[in-house]
Structure 1
Amino acid sequence: MADPPFSPAASTASATSTNPNTPRSSELHEGNSQADQETVDMGNHQAVAVDAAPSSPSSPSSAESPSLRNHDIQPTWPSKIDRTKIRAEACWLGQTIDNVLLDIHWAGQHGRAFLKLHTTLHLEGAPGASRHGLVNAYIFIYPERIRQLSFTSQPQYSPFGPPTIALTFDLSRPPALILPKTYTSFGPGAEDTMQSLCSLVQQTYFTVFASLPSRMLSSSWLQQFCQDITEHKLKTIASLANLKSLYQGHGAQVVEGDSPLEAVCDQGNAAAPAAPELPAYEEANPSFPPSRSTKRKRSYDESSAMGHDSKATGIAAMQALIGDMLEAKLTAHERRVGAMLSAHEDKVQEMLSAHLCKVNEQLAINNYSIADQIDAVEERVRNDVVNEFTDTINNRILEEMEGVQESVMEQITSMPLQAHLTFPNHPYL
């Protein structure tokens, strides 16, 4: 695949801020901790209404005019929006990583936001891994580290077709890479992905191309979001940046982009420690007769408690396994549906382009036909005018000639006639 451009070529539209409606009293009393814990899953119909969904003012009286009611309508912004698992591709310094997903969270009324990229890796021995050994690796992009965030709706490089948008990050500090605390080795293809992730988290300037149609998140919403982050109005959502809940409660390790990454990238390649060499027979300590055990027997309550604990552990492990299987299937289904949606959108775009070409061809043919008809009408009108003008001139000439002839004949008849007769001499006279 050819290297995409580092940054989108289309100009970034300047964001325009709109004053939202006054929040309800219940929303005013909500604290920041509650804003961090809340997660609102918006449907497509709510995301579409971001651009033009007006607020619902109190119904005016019948005496008010329609123009007054129109002036009372104000645009409104959703209290919180969460868009997760957006297909994305990150680009930096001529490098790309395309098997990533983007999550965008924004609670504008509480001044909170969070962005992260994540992908799956095959890490052997990682806690919380699925049955196939797949675990998630995250890249946390904290709003406090973002110096400027730019949004482009139609970049020249569009890996996902018409719905592609571009988010260009300019950071004051590189993002953080989140990995499991322990793992033994890399699985198939994990080493290359890990190298790309380590390279990405060392950057302070990169672009993320995402498949985000306007019906899901409008351009005005994204412009306002980028403007708020650039103006440092938003802070990190603490609940989403919590590491204790990751990897089924086993926690995670944070690898900062501005710290050495060689140990992390080479951790999977490290060989397992060799087993200690057994001592020779002569070097072994002499055996002593086993002493009589002084351990007391477990009571019935202790045995039942241990059995209950082991059973609970088994149930928890089974629940975790089922959860991982369901998550893997859901992710695969979402990827498949996303691919089908992209293919359908591409097909519709092709059909629309073909229809437009046919319409343009038919329009050109109609234009040529109309031009020919206009030329024929002009020629016919010109001939008719010339013929009429010629007939008029001929008739006028004939009328003038007849008048002249009549005048000449009248003058001839009215003039006196004088004749002089001369006879020659006759020889016989």
Structure 2
Amino acid sequence: MTYRELLMLYKSGKLDEQSRKKVEADIERQDAISDYLFNESDIPDLDICKKEKENYDDAKDDTDEKFIRMIHRSIRRVFIKMGLIVGAVILAVLLCVIFLLPSAVSLFYYDPTETVGQNAQTGSETNRMSLDLSVYTEMFLPGCYRNKVIADSEGYGKYTISIPQVASYTGTFTDLTGTLERGKLTLYNTNVLKAPAGNAFLLPAGTPGATASLQDEGGALIGPAGTKEEAYAALDALDEDEWYLAYISLADITDYETFYRWLEEKKLTYGSLWCGVYTEDENGVFLTGSDAVGFSPQLAGECIDWDRNAYPKLSLLDNAAEDGHWDDAENGEAMQTHFISMLRYLKEHNDIMTIMNAGALDFDGMIRSIEENGLRIYGFAVGAKKDTLLCLSKDPAVSYIYTNAMI
């Protein structure tokens, strides 16, 4: 009988007394041995399990560490990539602010450097302000024509401006410098490109527009130098060797060609000549009021270019004109085309009027008057010396003379 079978009989209670006691003694001995081994001895199987657990923990730690390092590398790559992207964006923004934004802002304002014409042979260019100033100074500033402007952009609608004087009848050259910032011109010499304070010419007596406020008690017209007697007395005090810009009023309104033949007789047809143009509204009243508006039939300066199809003969200093174009000065039709082109140009490019603080004019009315009545002159300005002016004061075609220092 096996011991297992013996245990089964013990469990079922079928053993005799002696066999039963022997089995109970065996069970007690086995329990004692188990307790002893568990409490007092190193159990090999348990050590093996412990080492396996430690090895597993070590392997798990290595895996965790490798995973953490991988996460760190991924995060670092993301930050590096993000940093590069952010840096590139910031650099792009800075470059735009430095290089593009100034030019972009300038697009909203008057650009004096804009090319408006180019010579086909030499490649020389005419910029916007050179052309604008050419028309403006010829029309409004007798004896002070300028048609060359050097402009350098500083960005944000600001430009440094230089306006050299390229021709002089006194031997003295006055260059102008300043800034043009967002359409506002600031010149360091404010007295050169300054329009006369009012019309320096007198209209013939009886002409609509020659108001009573400009007449003395006897009905004689009063000009900027006082009465005619006072103005002519001032001529005697002039220096014989100096040049003066003389504003000479005519006794009668005269068509241009007749007027120019008279000038040729007086030998006054040279570069500083400026002609005051008479225009009237539909009621026959002088249109320009306190503003003297006119043109120079013979200019001195640099040749320029522009859109000649839109504005024929806009400037008599035409870069594309052939030799002999100066003969246009005695051609009444050519001068009429020239003056009307200037009126149309200023009507369509009136930024220069704002920049120069000029008042509004009825350009359409002036064009209509000239097209209906032709080119008529009521006064002229010219550079002259004392002896010439004294001779003119005795001419019956002259009604008044007022002088200024010539620039």
Q: TM-score range with shorter-chain normalisation?
A: under 0.3
Task: Name the TM-score, length of structure 1 as normaliser.
Answer: 0.20
Task: Name the TM-score, length of structure 2 as normaliser.
Answer: 0.21
